[in-house]
Amino acid sequence: MYVQPFTITALDIHRDGIYMIKFFEIIVKNLSDQRFDYAQQQVNSLDFTLTISFNFYDIEYLLDESKVLELGMVPQIIQRI
């Protein structure tokens, strides 16, 4: 099954885009089983697996120099003892 090109964007902790990967000429190989229950009242996140084959991809870096060097307000994630 051939599908249109799609994009994956990686985000940092401030939800700014770091880089974007664009896939072209995609063929879907496998999609894991998903059950859609339209009578369900609660919305829950579901995991799925998508296996694809593609002809080429393009990586675009989105951060400029001011964003790369801006580390003053980054919260400490690893606790040091």
User: What pLDDT score does 23 carry?
Assistant: 92
Give the model confidence (pLDDT) of 27-68 as tens digits.
888 888 777 667 667 767 778 888 888 889 999 888 766 665
Answer whether 5's CB lies under 8 Å from 56's CB: no
Answer whether residue 69 shows pLDDT above 60. Answer: no
Tell me the whole-structure pTM to 2 decimals: 0.58
